[in-house]
Amino acid sequence: METNNRRDFLKKAALAGASALVAPSLFAANEEGRRESSPADMAGNLESRLIVPKNNGLKITGTFLDEISHDIPHQNWGEKEWDRDFQHMKRIGIDTVIMIRSGYRKFMTYPSPYLLKKGCYMPSVDLVDMYLRLAEKYKMKFYFGLYDSGRYWDTGDLSWEIEDNKYVIDEVWKMYGEKYKSFGGWYISGEISRATKGAIDAFHSMGKQCKDVSNGLPTFISPWIDGKKAIMGTDKLTKEDAVSVQQHEKEWNEIFDGIHDVVDACAFQDGHIDYDELDEFFTVNKKLADKYGMKCWTNAETLDRDMLIRFLPIKFDKLRMKLEAAKRAGYDKAITFEFSHFMSPQSAYLQAGHLYDRYREYFEIK
């Protein structure tokens, strides 16, 4: 008798506990007995109440693929994860993917016969082939980023990068360029900000070879502006000796004059200047590009340079202001560094997926 009573009590307690947990979360009845949405259902229909005009910036239509990096953690994706990421890119209108570099020092993205002989490490997967196949699948253009030996970073002389890339450009075109229609152009991967030693000759030499071997496919560069946030290798957030707009214009007028016949576009990185400096620098960049018949792109960085943690996804308002400035300046295209780490719903950073959602709300992308 006592055992049965205890069993009945436990059964009733369990049922009561389950109903207490389940009923409020699944449904709630109002006075008329109608079913109402759960909090989770209701949240699914909510959007941010923006108090700024929507769809008022230049949309991002290209992204770097940061598969060979030295300062951002690797996500260790396989083809399944990359395929899913291309789907996310496609959804927001990305039509161009740019492999940021085909190799850095001894690591590389494809089994280069030349670089293997020089002691570079054999990759486990041919990423160039995979990216080209995914680009074809999702109707995107793929830009091949050249090899970075690291010697420019060690010496400050960009001309060191010419020799290795003589071989890389030729072998890549034979291995992939003649095979895939998605091979749409070249990224000359040396990053500079000022009148760097050897820069004009290096950009011209590599740009000319890229165009010659591929029957004129487009080339582009993505330098940074030597602004107050160009603080590489320090523990500070800003520096005193930032370049003036006038000096920036003078130096880049000289560089563009020497490379415009073999470099089709320039995408200045936008993260090294402050947000109230965007219009002034962007206006100069567009004026110079127009003067030399080059396309003016922006590299709208989706990483945040305003904190000492390097690097985390950017605050949405910062990205919005940069894209709005690019639209005001009449830029031709916005690309980003870079979608997969800092904007993708499947990024290792939780904030990246939220940035993706805020971006879609702002540009009214369903």
Which residues lie closer than 8 Å to 221 by C-beta, 6 or more apart?
Answer: 187, 188, 190, 203, 259, 263, 265, 266, 267
CATH number at residue 189: 3.20.20.80
Q: Is residue 193 in a domain?
A: yes
Q: Does a structural domain hold residue 37?
A: no
**Closest listed residue to residue 335, CA positions, set 93, 53, 144:** 93
Burial class (CB in 10 A: 0-12, 13-18, 19+), 41: exposed
Instruction: Please give the model's pTM, rounded to 2 decimal places.
Output: 0.87
Indicate whether 174 belongs to any domain: yes
From 68, 126, 66, 105, select the one nearest 341 (Cα to Cα).
Answer: 66
DSSP H stretches of helix in 92-139:
113-117, 127-137
Domain range for 291 is: 60-363
In angstroms, the Cα distances linking 25 to 38, 52, 93, 343 are: 6, 35, 37, 31
At 230 the pLDDT is: 85
Q: Is 157 exposed, middle or buried (0-12, 13-18, 19+ CB in 10 A)?
A: middle
pLDDT computed for residue 19 by the predictor: 40
Parallel, antiparallel or unpaired: strands 295-299 and 60-65: unpaired
Determine contact, residues 312/303, Cβ cutoff 8 Å.
yes
pLDDT at 69: 74
Task: Walk along the chain (366 residues) and give the pLDDT tens digit of each residue.
Answer: 444 444 444 444 444 444 433 333 333 334 344 444 455 555 667 889 999 999 999 999 999 999 877 789 999 999 999 999 999 999 999 999 999 999 999 999 999 999 999 999 999 999 999 999 999 999 999 999 999 999 999 999 999 999 999 999 999 999 999 999 999 999 999 999 888 999 999 999 999 999 999 999 999 999 999 889 987 756 677 777 899 999 999 999 999 999 999 999 999 999 999 999 999 999 999 999 999 999 999 999 999 999 988 899 999 999 999 999 999 999 999 999 999 999 999 999 999 999 999 999 999 999
Q: Does residue 255 sit within a domain?
A: yes
**Could you tell me if 238 and 201 are in contact, meaning their C-beta atoms sit under 8 angstroms apart?**
no
pLDDT at residue 240 in the model? 79
Domain-located, residue 10: no
Classify residue 81 by burial, with Cβ atoms within 10 Å: 0-12, 13-18, 19+.
middle
Q: Is residue 204 situated within a structural domain?
A: yes
Helix (H) or strand (E) holding 62: strand 60-65
Number of domains present in the structure of the chain: 1
Please indicate, yes or no, if residue 90 is contained in any of the structural domains.
Answer: yes
CB 72 within 8 A of CB 311: yes
40 is a domain residue? no
Residue 70 Cα distances to 59, 104, 230, angstroms: 28, 8, 17
Output the pLDDT for position 233.
Answer: 58
CB neighbours of residue 306 within 10 Å? 14
Contact in structure between 194 and 226 (CB atoms under 8 Å): yes
